[in-house]
Amino acid sequence: MATTLGQNQYGKAESRVVRIVRDGPTHHIKDLSVSIALSGDMDDVHYSGSNAHVLPTDTAKNTVYAFAREHGIASAEHFGIRLARHFVTSQRTVHRARVRIEEYAWERIAAPGSPTGRAHSFVRAGQETRVCQITFDGGRWEIVSGLKGLTVLNSTDSEFQGYVRDRYTTLQEAYDRVLATDVSARWRYRWTSDAEPEPDWDGEYARSREGMLQAFAGTYSLSLQQTLYRMGAEVVESGDTIDEIRLSLPNHHHFLVDLAPFGLTNEHHVYFAADRPYGLIEATVLRDGAEALIPADLTLV
């Protein structure tokens, strides 16, 4: 039975690019996932395996990073237009380019007394989920509340150096790095009895969330562990209603893209946001004298 080649395309999917514009102490972020599909004169590569008309998909990825550095990212649409035009006009065998972009919005973490928010600390817009677990045995209550998916980022004021090295260590010390994480937190209230008035649950949630954000933004981080502890301590110390908080912080690594092969410098402008593998930092912070009761593997849906 005879066959013929139908519609086809190829490209690079989900190239994650983070562009940081450092306007003095104030930073601006564009965070995109870019997927590129190219089609055109591609019969030979399918029928005979000849790559003579094929622009490598790795080149498409590199173009995303280089364009982010050279042209910036004014908007997702404008960036996509630049890319699509480039591929179609620069490659005679590419007749059509499709660029799909997802943009992840960031908001500045509010700073007391500042209407514009903190200069280099951000929280992902509209992402977190509030959670709680209520246990009652007929006489005693145990209330564990929290949140998950609170994505935060500091575009500076973070280091990682002075760590243990062995024969397998290749990581280079970082003196100015992007620090980003998805905060998962569970806190246990002191309230256990109907004989006492219930806490203001909504108010306590807002206070705990804000305390973690302010501690994340306000800590010059020498390690994510240090930042985690300050976030937990802020929640416990700023009120008298919470005895214990457990935090789980995956370290979302942002790596500077090497743009030297394209004749471009990259002094903390363009980053590749890796999602796997990631460091996972977890710890419990307790009020002095309190007992640790939140399980280390507690998962709330």
Distance of CA 114 to the CA centre of its chain: 24
pLDDT above 50: residue 166: yes
Please write the tens of the pLDDT for every residue from 43-100: 999 999 999 999 999 999 999 999 999 999 999 999 999 999 999 999 999 999 999 9
Q: Could you say which of 61, 148, 252, 253 is catalytic?
A: 253
Query: Whose structure tokens read 């994480």?
Result: 181
More confidently predicted of 137 and 183: 183
**206's tokens:** 């807002």
Q: What pLDDT, on a 0 to 100 scale, did the predictor assign at position 135? A: 87
Any idea which of 21-35, 127-141, 142-156 has the lowest mean pLDDT?
127-141
Of 193, 206, 286, residue with least CA distance to 245: 286
Would you call 57 a catalytic residue per the annotation?
A: yes
253 assigned to active site: yes
Residue 126 to residues 30, 129, 149, 198, 206: CA-CA distances in angstroms? 16, 9, 10, 28, 15
pLDDT at 114: 86
Q: CA 252, 299, 160 angle in degrees (round to 5)?
A: 25
Q: Which percentage of the chain shows pLDDT scores above 90? A: 91
**CB neighbour list of residue 141: distance below 8 Å, 6 or more residues apart:** 134, 135, 191, 192, 193, 194
Closest CA to 267 of 280, 275, 258, 276: 258
pLDDT band at 301 (very low <50, low <70, confident <90, very high): very low
Tell me the average pLDDT across 132-136.
89
Return the amino acid letter for 136.
F
Confidence band, pLDDT 50/70/90 cuts, at residue 298: low
Tell me the pLDDT tens digit for each residue of 232-287: 999 999 999 999 999 999 999 999 999 999 999 999 999 999 988 999 999 999 99
Q: Kindly list the structural domains of the chain, giving each domain's residue range(s) and its CATH number in brackets, ordered by start.
A: 10-103 (3.30.1130.10), 106-286 (3.10.270.10)
Using a cut of 0.75, tell me whether the model's pTM lies above it. yes
41 labelled ligand-binding? no
Distance CA 246, CA 226 (A): 14
Catalytic residue among 12, 27, 30, 120: 12
pLDDT digits (tens, 9 = 90+) for 189-224: 999 999 999 999 999 999 999 999 999 999 999 999
Q: What is the pLDDT of residues 112-125, one digit of tens each?
A: 888 888 999 999 98
Catalytic position from the list 53, 57, 192, 268: 57
120 carries an active-site annotation: no
225 is in an annotated binding site: yes
Encode pLDDT of 7-48 as tens digits. 999 999 999 999 999 999 999 999 999 999 999 999 999 999
Residues 6+ apart with CB under 8 A from 108: 116, 117, 118, 119, 121, 122, 123
57 marked as binding residue: yes
251 is in an annotated binding site: yes
Asked whether residue 300 carries a pLDDT value surpassing 50, the answer given is no
